[in-house]
Structure 1
Amino acid sequence: MWTTMCRLLPTEPKTRKPGPTRCISPACRCVPTPRPTITGCGNDMSSEVSRQDIAAAFRSAGARPGDLLLFHSSLKSMGHVDGGAQTVIDGALDAVAPGGTVAVPTLWYNGKPLERRKEDFDLKTSPAWNGLVAETMRQDSRAVRSDHFTHSVSAIGPFAAELTSNHGSGRPFPSPWSETAFAEVSPWSKLYQFNALYAFIGCGMKSCTMKHWIESRYVSGLLDRLPETERGRCRKLLAYERQKGPWCYFDGRTMYLRLAAQGLIRTVRLGDTLLFAFRTRPMADAALRELERDPENWFHPLILEWRKMVLDLIHQ
């Protein structure tokens, strides 16, 4: 029955309804999330945004000298940025100066396995598909990029080499893309370890790659409780190595609202849009608590069925 249900489940939902998202696509492009804008302003290029404005906004959202800051962004959402994408990067660096490090996801794999094969990834030349700021960061001569074909990160600053080194080594953790994307040694794990400031400019939790780190830890927390002989079999019932299958995606918009209600998110205005940020460790810990406390409110029925099967095996 499980196999039949997995085969019949569509890759993308045909409709979007309020409440927890039911998407199981490895590309995860259909999660409804808040898109911060200022009422009456829109994205009509009406505001002039400077490097100083960007630095000030990051500081107001919690950036400190010597900080580790990772951000997602929509360049056009801000209005007219004098100097374009490079100004956004330099403004972020100013916000954590002196001694701080700025990171941006520079993702190459776009969810299309026929177009993006692992063996075709080139650390130096494979472009980032996730926006102009990301691609500008990748090409910056100061930047160091982690060597991973799906979840690469580029960084500038004193901590850049340590943040990006050995991506995928250490203990593997499950994800729909690979078992190394969110490994024990990965930029994503280091963001948690060092409690980085994690920020968004003009985009919502749909863009939050750390969300998938949380999902990987949720799954591994269940698998770790199984007898060793059952772990591999149960793992491969979920999305695996970019093959379609169920996965414990959760609704980023709902999680954003829960985190905001707990006072974990700071929001400031930047040009025509909003910048919001949180500290990675308390955010991830709070999100995991939400998932563990009330899985029925977050997950697709197939994931709930898988979870029940795992718990039954644990308690045998």
Structure 2
Amino acid sequence: MALTRQEILDGLKQLGVREGSVIMAHSALSAFGKVEGGAVTVIEALIEAVGPEGTLLMPAMASEQPFRIESSPSTVGTITDVFRSYPGTTRSLHPTHSVAGIGPLVDQLIAGHIDHPTALGPQSPWGRMAQRDDAYILLLGCDQDRNTLLHCAEEAVDGAYLNTISRTYIDAEGRERTKALEKFPGPHRDFIGLDPLFESARAMNVGKIGTAVCRLMSAKQTLMLAIEALRRDPAAVLCDNAHCRDCVQQRADIKRARLADESFTLSAVIDGTGLGVDEVGQALWLIGAEGIGAVEIGPHWARALREHADACREVAAHLGGEGIKAAIIHADVPLRDGVEASAAVDALNAVIEATAVFAPDYLKLPGYPRGTGDADGSVAHAVELLDALGQAAESAGMRLLIENHADALWSDTAGCDRVLTSVSSPAVAFSFNPAHFAHVGEHPFLATYKRARAKRYTEQLMLIDGCTPPWPGYTLLAQGQGEVRELMSILRCRSFAGHFTICLKDLRGAESFARQAAEFWRSLDLM
């Protein structure tokens, strides 16, 4: 049996639609099953349900460019397309979020929509509805993913993933115009996940008309609940599917916005992804998904790039395309007993020339191996080399980093302090590796950081945890003895302007990288 107008009207009343109310109806005609008279019957039932004192609105959004108010078809359902030209309706002029309506409040609700900088702000039809106690969103055979009002919540909290777009339309004089729309919502959302929130707050009635599951909700209360959810969690309306490119990218936008409030720069050792230079696109996708805008090219990638000049240009092009900077590059410069300063400087200059396409801020030097002979002589020679290298780097507008290693002269607090305080070049800075201090039995925060003068020279904190034997040498953050969270926290207290660098060492791999990044964000959220 076909669904009749009276049956639809009865269903609307049972759902809670009252005469005199303002209704924005989103719909799917096919969800009702067979309807006697089709879309027109549904429209007539809705008009009768709100009565002569009520106002019925429907989205009349069009994909056609330029938008023409008289002829551009609505692309959000058959009922809406029939309604836009139904006798007595008025359609708003808007290239992306046109609305059609009938009733005494239509002009008030849609007036001037085109004149506002955003499509879904307080002065949009949806925004104006949400300021009324008698306004409701009605979903006929569709779910929250079709509820345009929820985009108003994203705009209200200034969602980091909203964009500016441009669309064209034909104005009242027949001229083609271009409209820039700020804070415009993007692709995939998980609005359906808000259903339990609305139900538990008793903001929504759910019923069935024919075979169509229908929802009626207060526009004001629904918007308020959605805004509160987004204030608690900026990603509240994004899905958590790790393979959903849209939501991964939008979560990255949220992370970038969070980092914009920090004084430090978040970077990552690209080697830690476990991918090679021939997989640079995938590696940068993993890094960019975490909102990271800078990388360290570690020893594995640096070696590969050194051996393949064409790869340098390709990797640099990928970095530029993704807006990611190669801020730190490993420099294979000889640092050991017996090396002449001139030879070390020549090697550094060769690296500077080879990496010029990346324009890095830092070159990271290898450790100076501890010998079995004269320790004082080795330290003096290391200082001599570092001063010479620092002078060469400064001339090229770069800085140098040395990182503590268990097998290097600068392995512990005393060794790091001895070298760093002896080097006169201001271009030589320190990379603090908590795992490596743990390897030599130190407490990286409770002892090393508090006592070491090396902290004055620290311009990079390696985000890698680890333990002294017999426990694992490297672990994820906050799972070892590196006291990494404490170090992050105290450096943030100093408005640390250097790099926090996600690092994997022996744990490298795509999955491990994602887990390490997640631990970083979890740690930051705890501060």
Normalising by structure 2, what TM-score? 0.42
Instruction: Please give the secondary structure, in 2, of the residue aligned with 1:48.
Output: coil
Question: Shift of residue 281 of structure 1?
Answer: 0.6
Instruction: Please give the secondary structure, in 1, of the residue aligned with 2:25.
Output: strand
Question: Shift of residue 250 of structure 1?
Answer: 4.3
| Equivalence for 2:46 | 92
Give yes or no for the alignment of 1:197 onto 2:121: no
| Equivalence for 2:83 | 137
* Partner residue of 1:162 out of 92, 96, 108: 108
Question: Shift of residue 263 of structure 1?
Answer: 1.8
Question: Structure 1: how far apart are the matches of 2:222 and 2:36?
Answer: 32
The answer as to whether partners of 1:62 and 1:197 remain within 8 angstroms in 2 is: no
Instruction: Please give the secondary structure, in 1, of the residue aligned with 2:120.
Output: coil
Structure 1 or 2: more helix by fraction: 2
Q: Taking CA–CA contacts closer than 8 Å with sequence separation of 6 or more, which of the two structures ends up with the larger relative contact order?
A: 1
Question: Shift of residue 185 of structure 1?
Answer: 2.4
Change (3 A) 1:126 1:297: closer
| Equivalence for 1:303 | 253
Question: Shift of residue 303 of structure 1?
Answer: 3.0
The answer as to whether partners of 1:199 and 1:275 remain within 8 angstroms in 2 is: yes
The answer as to whether partners of 2:15 and 2:206 remain within 8 angstroms in 1 is: yes
Question: Structure 2: how far apart are the matches of 1:246 and 1:285?
Answer: 18
Instruction: Please give the secondary structure, in 1, of the residue aligned with 2:69.
Output: coil
Cα deviations by residue, 1:273-292 (Å, 9 ceiling, x for unpaired): 21111000100101111111
Question: Shift of residue 108 of structure 1?
Answer: 0.6
Give yes or no for the alignment of 1:59 onto 2:13: yes
Question: Structure 2: how far apart are the matches of 1:53 and 1:162?
Answer: 31
Instruction: Please give the secondary structure, in 2, of the residue aligned with 1:193.
Output: coil
* Equivalence map 1:122-271=2 (5 Å): 122-170=68-116, 172=117, 179=118, 181-195=119-133, 196-219=135-158, 238-241=162-165, 250-271=189-210
The residue type paired with residue 301 of structure 1 is R
Question: Shift of residue 48 of structure 1?
Answer: 2.5
The answer as to whether partners of 1:248 and 1:303 remain within 8 angstroms in 2 is: no
The answer as to whether partners of 2:141 and 2:212 remain within 8 angstroms in 1 is: yes
| Equivalence for 1:68 | 22
The residue type paired with residue 258 of structure 1 is L
State which structure, 1 or 2, has the greater radius of gyration over its C-alpha atoms: 2
Question: Shift of residue 141 of structure 1?
Answer: 2.1
The residue type paired with residue 190 of structure 2 is D
Instruction: Please give the secondary structure, in 2, of the residue aligned with 1:267.
Output: strand
The answer as to whether partners of 2:90 and 2:100 remain within 8 angstroms in 1 is: yes
| Equivalence for 2:56 | 102
The answer as to whether partners of 2:126 and 2:152 remain within 8 angstroms in 1 is: yes
Instruction: Please give the secondary structure, in 1, of the residue aligned with 2:26.
Output: strand
Instruction: Please give the secondary structure, in 1, of the residue aligned with 2:128.
Output: helix
Question: Structure 1: how far apart are the matches of 2:237 and 2:162?
Answer: 16
The answer as to whether partners of 1:102 and 1:157 remain within 8 angstroms in 2 is: yes
Question: Shift of residue 121 of structure 1?
Answer: 1.2
Instruction: Please give the secondary structure, in 2, of the residue aligned with 1:168.
Output: helix
Question: Structure 2: how far apart are the matches of 1:214 and 1:124?
Answer: 30
Structure 1 or 2: more strand by fraction: 2
Q: Identity, % of aligned pairs?
A: 26
Change (3 A) 1:242 1:310: farther
| Equivalence for 2:407 | none
The residue type paired with residue 303 of structure 1 is D
Change (3 A) 1:311 1:71: farther
Question: Structure 1: how far apart are the matches of 2:128 and 2:200?
Answer: 26
Question: Structure 2: how far apart are the matches of 1:93 and 1:246?
Answer: 30
Question: Structure 2: how far apart are the matches of 1:295 and 1:185?
Answer: 23
The answer as to whether partners of 2:52 and 2:103 remain within 8 angstroms in 1 is: no
| Equivalence for 1:285 | 224
Instruction: Please give the secondary structure, in 1, of the residue aligned with 2:24.
Output: strand
Cα deviations by residue, 1:248-282 (Å, 9 ceiling, x for unpaired): 96411111122112221101110012111100010
The answer as to whether partners of 2:154 and 2:230 remain within 8 angstroms in 1 is: no
The answer as to whether partners of 1:168 and 1:182 remain within 8 angstroms in 2 is: no
The answer as to whether partners of 1:108 and 1:152 remain within 8 angstroms in 2 is: yes
**Structure 2: where are the runs of 5+ without partners?**
168-183, 239-249, 264-494, 496-527
Question: Shift of residue 156 of structure 1?
Answer: 0.7
**Structure 1: where are the runs of 5+ without partners?**
1-46, 110-115, 173-178, 221-234
Change (3 A) 1:268 1:297: closer
| Equivalence for 2:314 | none
Instruction: Please give the secondary structure, in 1, of the residue aligned with 2:58.
Output: strand
Instruction: Please give the secondary structure, in 2, of the residue aligned with 1:49.
Output: coil
Question: Structure 2: how far apart are the matches of 1:254 and 1:166?
Answer: 33
